Amino acid sequence: MSEPKYKFLSTPRRPVEDRRFVAGRGKYVADLERPDMLHVAPLASHHAAAVINSIDGSKALAMPGVIDVITGDELAGAVQPLMNGLNTPNVRRFPLAVGRVRYAGEWVCAVVAESRAIAEDALENIIVDATPQPFVLDAEQALLDSSTPVHPEHGSNLLLDRKFVWGPVDEDFAAAAHSLSFSVTWGRNSTVPIETFGVIAEWNGWDQMLDIWASIQMPKYADQIARSLGLPGNAIRVHYDVDVGGSYGVKRGIKHSVLVGYVARKLGRAVRLIEDRLENMRAGDAHGPERKFDVAVAFDDDGTVRAMKMRALDNAGAYAGRAPFQLGKPISAIVGPYKINSVAYHALSVTTNKTVQEAVRGFGQAPTNYAIETAMDRVAEYLGMDRLALRQHNLIRADQFPYLIPSGSHYDSGDYHAVIDKVLAAADYPAMLAERDRLRADGMMAGIGIAACLEPSGGNSSFEPLLNESNKTSTWMESCQVNVDALGCVTARIHTTSSGQGHETLVSTILGEVLQINPELIRITRPNSLESLPGNSPVGSRMAIMLGGAAARAGEKLKAKIMAIAAHHLAVDVDQLRYESGDVIAPDGRSLVWDDMIELAHRQYHSLPDGMDPGLASFDIMQVPTGEALPADGKVQMYPCYAFEFHLVLVSFDPIIGRPDIHSYFIGHDCGTVINPAIVSGMTYGGIAHGIGAALFEEFAYDANGQLLTQSFLDYLMPSSHEVPAINIVKHCTPSPHTVFGQKGSGESGYLGSPAAVSGAINDAVAGLGIHFEKLPIRMSAISDAIAAKSS
């Protein structure tokens, strides 16, 4: 047996964080008490659109325990609008509605009271006089000149309208033997964490400091609050030592935070706002993409897909924010894992009178993958070709990396065919086909779903300058600090909250690997934002690459200093020395052991090399690999790393009942070098469950009056352990050349392909009837109704 490559990396180490979470000892925002804390409850709009004529809070204010009633007009005079990612200055967004409400559930005003219960009682005594206005819910309708703009000042509902042509699309379509087109729609869903968003803000006038504890996963959170409140950046102190009970993108809470920040400053008290489930669902401003795709593909008799035209129309909801950028990130992998020569991409984002959209796991990649994989299934169907063979024919080959796709990104590495072969072997594909046929013979509808897709990872924000030329952001760093104290113990600081990604495990494992110290002995702390180096938080599947990278580089800097001290102490050239588990050993056997090294660094300045600073500390601020340049000609190298996943799933259902039963689920997963296997597997299991929800159950659905129908878990159905089958993960490792250990991202794994795979399986089951399901989620009643319509 060969020597293991790593001592701690890729070993089955138990995640550090699990201990406190499993024991119920996590520390969440709702666990925190501040002295004299006040509570906020927002009043939800009943109307999808209305002009606010007046708000009378006098009766509420007269109730015992009620401190204040805050309106949008008051806020608009005191704070700056929330950040807007696009050049749409007249799409202004404040924490509370100003002058008009733009979706049902939007916060009209807010009560501040001694308890949340009192605040909710007071809400019932606020009299709002509002005049209902025309509204628009459907994205295609919103595009029409005849529709009422959600923001009349903006003049239309169009937020983003960008056309890209990468490569000879027209020529490829003309030269191809065939073409086909179709439309599919990704329903509005999200990640819906167990813990809703919560924030506490506390103003200290003597220090001129706003302290904030929040359930946050957001880049530049403190900066945005400071800008909106008109405070210096160093007057906001965000405490990162708060556990976050789930997020996957949506825990932004910027409007909540600006609201309580304003109130805390106004009243000089600690103020808390924790969403209840209704507020989270209808007005947390955390819905995910709702996207209609019109796709055309050109292909040859042998199945070669030459070119693709994609129009993607996203329903952003009532305000802009960063949501339209979710049309930009998929440009990073716009051809999926396939050798498609040219692409035309038309990205459209519109406002509607629905809840505001926020970043969700994959930042738009999962919907796009669903459209691409549907195209592959349609081409196979058109040609009468096997769906698997078609994919294998079009996949980029292992010897073609780095592979430049038409939109300007190089895929770093991969061996897609090898992963698929492994999955087919593990799943016993011929037996799976036989099982499908057996189910069909028994009178069931049965189908196999196939999906191959990529997880762009190591996120930066290249999509911002790509979609908004006035934005010149190319920097998207992450940082880590390491200190070895006078007793020789290692402590690392990370500068963000975690929402279940296991960053403490990540950093301690990597530092342990670099320094060859048991990771269990390495302490990880999360200081507040004022004590932090710059970072961009866990978004874009980046932390294994970026925080892991910064930790490794900081560790290497520390090690270099250790080696320099040892070289001086042992009077040996540094190249001659060997580092082993904290000790430095000379060729002649003499050594400087860890404890003696600490003694030198911390207490014996006279023994250090000339000019060397005392102590043992280092830090690293790392830029995203390959993220050097701004876009040119509508092209950009976006993310540095591309993880691959391949889904194979067998589904069956009774033709009358229509309830899909997932018999077996296999996923081949290649995210390069795995740092902690349990964390990567956990991400993948959860991602697949999330994707099953998107495919079959979850939707923020509105009625014709613009009222959200799915405001609680009564109607917003997430898959439970009963609906998610056993998942078999088939692992493969193609290291990335761009990262310290060859790791790629895995935070979005599973979710990026499972909706496409489950949809593909259901469509395979009904293919014989000539049925295509073209919208997610595919509800059981829709399945049964479609079959009944064909039978009658």
Instruction: Determine the Cα angle at 330 with ends 326 and 334, to 5°.
Output: 155
Binding part of the chain for other proteins, among 465-473, 502-510, 545-553, 653-661 by CB under 8 A, reads 653-661
Cis peptide before 15 (omega within 30 of 0): no
Q: Quick check: helix, strand or coil at residue 294? A: strand
Comparing CB distances to other proteins, the nearer of 92 and 775 is: 775
**Residues 658-677 interacting with other proteins (rule: CB under 8 A):** 658-659
Stretch that binds other proteins, among 25-33, 471-479, 672-680, 719-727 (CB under 8 A): 719-727
Retrieve residue 44's tokens: 């939800």
Q: Is 606 in the site for other proteins (CB under 8 A)?
A: no
Our CB check for other proteins shows the closer of 470 and 721 to be 721
Least Å distance, CB 215 to other proteins, is 17
* Nearest to other proteins of 54, 721 (CB atom): 721
Residues 334-363 that bind other proteins (CB under 8 A): none
> Which residue's CB is nearer to other proteins, number 513 or number 699?
699
Nearer CB in complex with other proteins: 123/585: 123
Residue 284 near other proteins by CB under 8 A: no
Binding residues among 116-155 for other proteins as defined by CB under 8 A: 116-117, 120-121
Site string for other proteins, 558-587 (x = CB under 8 A): ------------------------------
Residue 769: DSSP 8-state: G
Q: Which stretch binds other proteins (CB under 8 A): 354-362, 609-617, 711-719, 733-741?
A: 711-719
Q: How far is the CB of 276 from other proteins (least distance, A)?
A: 4
Return the range that interacts with other proteins (CB under 8 A); candidates 150-158, 370-378, 460-468, 650-658.
650-658
Q: Does 788 bind other proteins (CB under 8 A)?
A: yes
Q: Structure tokens of 314?
A: 């996203």
Tell me if 701 contacts other proteins by CB under 8 A.
yes
Give the CA distances from residue 140 to residues 511, 680, 706, in Å, rounded to whole numbers and listed in that order: 51, 39, 16
**Any contact of residue 53 with other proteins (CB under 8 A)?**
no
Binding test (CB under 8 A) with other proteins, winner from 657, 705, 768, 790: 657
Maximum C-alpha span of the chain: 94
Nearest to 406 by CA among 163, 162, 167: 167
* Per rule CB under 8 A, count of chain residues that contact other proteins: 30
- 656 part of the interface to other proteins, by CB under 8 A: yes
Residue 223 CB, nearest distance to other proteins (Å)? Answer: 32
Nearer to other proteins, 685 or 697 (CB): 697
Of 434, 712, 768, 790, the residue at the interface with other proteins (CB under 8 A) is 712
CB 518 within 8 A of CB 512: yes
Kindly state whether residue 34 participates in binding other proteins, applying the rule CB under 8 A: no
Shortest distance, CB of residue 648 to other proteins, whole angstroms? 24
Give dist(CA 254, CA 250) in Å, integer: 11
Extract the tokens encoding 386: 């096997």
Shortest approach of other proteins to residue 784 CB, angstroms? Answer: 5
Q: Which amino acid is at 322?
A: R
- Closest CB 684 distance from other proteins, rounded Å: 22
Stretch that binds other proteins, among 153-161, 449-457, 614-622, 720-728 (CB under 8 A): 720-728
At 3, phi and psi to the nearest 5? -60, 130
For residue 432, how far is the Cα from the chain centroid? 33
Q: What is the Cα 478 distance to its own chain's centre?
A: 16
Which of these ranges, 270-278, 426-434, 629-637, 758-766, lies near other proteins under the rule CB under 8 A? 270-278
Instruction: State the SS3 of 596-622.
Output: HHHHHHHHCHHHCCCCCCCCEEEEEEE
Are the CB atoms for 178 and 298 separated by under 8 Å?
yes
697 is a site residue for other proteins (CB under 8 A): yes
Question: Does 714 participate in binding other proteins (rule CB under 8 A)?
Answer: yes
Told to check if 790 binds other proteins by CB under 8 A, we report no
The CA-atom distances, in angstroms, between 455 and each of 210, 366, 671 are: 38, 9, 9
Strands 270-274 and 198-204: antiparallel
Which residue from 32, 278, 385, 530 is in contact with other proteins, where contact means CB under 8 A? 278
Please, what's the b/e burial string for 383-396 (b: 16 or more CB within 10 A of its CB; e: otherwise)?
A: bebebbebbbbbbb
Distances (CA, A) of 181 to 171, 173, 451: 17, 12, 19
Single out the segment in contact with other proteins by CB under 8 A; choices: 216-224, 336-344, 436-444, 716-724. 716-724
Query: Does position 785 bind other proteins by CB under 8 A?
Result: yes
Among 438, 720, 768, 790, contact with other proteins (rule: CB under 8 A)? 720
Q: Nearest-CA neighbor of 409 among 361, 343, 473?
A: 343
Q: Which is nearer to other proteins, 491 or 707 (CB)?
A: 707
Minimum CB distance to other proteins, residue 655 (Å):
10
Q: Is 599 exposed, middle or buried (0-12, 13-18, 19+ CB in 10 A)?
A: middle
Nearer to other proteins, 278 or 296 (CB): 278
Q: Is 46 in the site for other proteins (CB under 8 A)?
A: no
Stretch that binds other proteins, among 138-146, 164-172, 424-432, 704-712 (CB under 8 A): 704-712
- Nearer residue to other proteins within complex by CB, 272 or 526: 272
User: Is 315 one of the binding residues for other proteins (CB under 8 A)?
Assistant: no
Place of tokens 């927002």: 42
Q: Are 246 and 194 in contact (CB under 8 A)?
A: yes
Q: Report which DSSP code applies to 363.
A: T
Please, which residue, 583 or 654, has the CB nearer to other proteins? 654
By the rule CB under 8 A, 276 interacts with other proteins: yes
Q: How far apart are CA 158 and CA 350, in angstroms?
A: 5
Stretch that binds other proteins, among 125-133, 299-307, 413-421, 651-659 (CB under 8 A): 651-659
Burial class (CB within 10 angstroms; exposed 0-12, middle 13-18, buried 19+) of 750: buried
Binders of other proteins among residues 721 to 760 (CB under 8 A) are 722-723
- The radius of gyration of the chain's CA atoms, rounded to the nearest angstrom, is 27
Nearer to other proteins, 116 or 410 (CB): 116
Angstrom distances, CA of residue 153 to CA of 88, 107, 132, 612: 10, 20, 18, 61
Residue 710 binding other proteins, by CB under 8 A: yes
Measured from the CB of residue 776, what is the shortest distance to other proteins in angstroms?
A: 14
Q: Which is nearer to other proteins, 261 or 719 (CB)?
A: 719
Under rule CB under 8 A, residue 489 binds other proteins: no
Q: Report the residue from 458, 719, 745, 747 that binds other proteins according to the rule CB under 8 A.
A: 719
**In terms of CB distance, is 574 or 717 closer to other proteins?**
717
CB of 462 to other proteins, least distance (A): 39
Can you say whether the dihedral through the CA atoms of 197, 198, 203, 209 is positive or negative? negative
Residue 179 has a CB neighbour count (10 Å cut-off) of 18
CB 409, CB 333: distance < 8 Å: yes
Residue 705 binds other proteins, judged by CB under 8 A: no
Q: Work out whether 784 is an interface residue with other proteins (CB under 8 A).
A: yes
Helix ranges, 268-406 (H): 277-283, 365-383, 387-394
Q: State how far the Cα of 375 lies from the Cα of 369, in Å rounded to an integer.
A: 10
Residue 461 DSSP one-character state = -
Q: How far is CA 654 from CA 442, 488, 544, 657, in A?
A: 10, 65, 43, 5
C-beta closer to other proteins: residue 277 or 417: 277
Q: Which two structure tokens, joined as six digits, stand for 605?
A: 């300045």
User: Structure tokens of 373?
Assistant: 């994989």
In a 3-state reduction of DSSP, which class is residue 524?
A: strand
The footprint of other proteins (CB under 8 A) covers 116-117, 120-121, 276-278, 656-659, 696-697, 701, 709-710, 712, 714-715, 717, 719-720, 722-723, 779-781, 784-785, 788
